[in-house]
Amino acid sequence: MEIVDNDKIKSIMYDVSKKNILPFFRNLKSNQINYKNNKDIVTSIDIEVENYLNKTLSQLIKKSNFIGEELYFKNPSILDNYNKSEYCWTVDPIDGTSNFVNGKKKFAIMIALTFKKNIIQSWIYKPLTEDLMYATNKKGTYINGHKVFKIKNKKIVNSTGSISFKYWNKKDQNTIYILKNNFKKINSYGSIGCEYFDIVLGKRDFTILSKLSPWDHIPGVLLVRESGGADCHFDKKRYKFNKKCKNLIVSNSKTLNLEIIKKIEEINHDYK
């Protein structure tokens, strides 16, 4: 199996951020901003960054495929690429576009490399601080070259994280509204990549997700997994990026994940 040199990805992310992203932070023109489906915000920067990453990453591994958030919008069938090729890049050119557009600091570039059904490497880069977090399957998670060590487990009552309140089926929607009262604090960054970053660092504890776009979660799940955290669907099975599923819990400990699932089961039992 091929392993890509982290320094190569670092310089690609650094270059694209310096050339295409940073000059436009708090400096976007209105004609650079658009809406997908009249709803989700997208800028010409998202598209340029994704095109650049498509071109440069695809050169690093012969016959690798590429899936990007903005390409998907034009052609949803690109998700078939996970079944077509052994190596596939998954990219979110700017995670937290809305923050970026509004001059808020929480946004990131996210890249993951998968091989068949496995996530083998991933990178999340914050252009403004130049912080890079990366992980390789079974080799741990690193921030700016330093290995991240597993942080202490927290109980559910002491934990802070985010919960998606949209896109659930009716039954899960009710469960989620009751579940939210069991945590210390619920808040969201508007950039799931920055949340994954802080889950790894122990600055927050978990995220509970419904709509699972692969570019939003493949990179962060590997970072959390390799730093000693845990990811599972409500059926307790690990995250499967190539299967359609509408729920996921990612947290910095397996104990917390299981505690959350236990709560979900209790709520479902009480309201049956």
Question: Is the dihedral angle over the CA atoms 177, 179, 180, 182 positive or is it negative?
Answer: positive
Segment contacting Mg ion by CB under 5 A, of 65-73, 134-142, 159-167, 226-234: 65-73
Shortest spacing between CB 130 and Mg ion, in angstroms: 19
Nearer to Mg ion, 34 or 174 (CB): 34
Distance of CA 219 to the CA centre of its chain: 5
Q: Which of 48, 69, 205, 226 binds Mg ion (CB under 5 A)?
A: 69
Dihedral (CA of 266, 161, 91, 117) sign: negative
Site string for Mg ion, 92-121 (x = CB under 5 A): x-xx--------------------------
Contacts of 185 (CB under 8 A, 6+ apart): 160, 161
Q: What is the DSSP string of 12-34?
A: HHHHHIIIIIGGGTT---GGGEE
95/226 with CB nearer Mg ion: 95
Q: Interface mask (CB under 5 A) for Mg ion, residues 15-54, using x and -?
A: ----------------------------------------
Cβ 51 to Mg ion shortest distance, Å: 14
Q: Which is nearer to Mg ion, 133 or 260 (CB)?
A: 133
Minimum distance between the CB of residue 48 and Mg ion, rounded to whole angstroms?
A: 13
The bridge status of strand 33-36 relative to strand 140-143 is unpaired
Residues 75-94: x where in contact with Mg ion by CB under 5 A, - otherwise, as a string = -----------------x-x
Query: How many residues of this chain interact with Mg ion, rule: CB under 5 A?
Result: 4
DSSP assignment of 117-139, as one string?
Answer: TEEEEEEEEETTTTEEEEEETTT
Shortest spacing between CB 60 and Mg ion, in angstroms: 21
Residue whose tokens read 């976007």 = 28
Cα dist from 10 to 68, 108, 266, whole Å: 18, 13, 45
- Summarize as ranges the residues that interact with Mg ion (CB under 5 A): 69, 92, 94-95
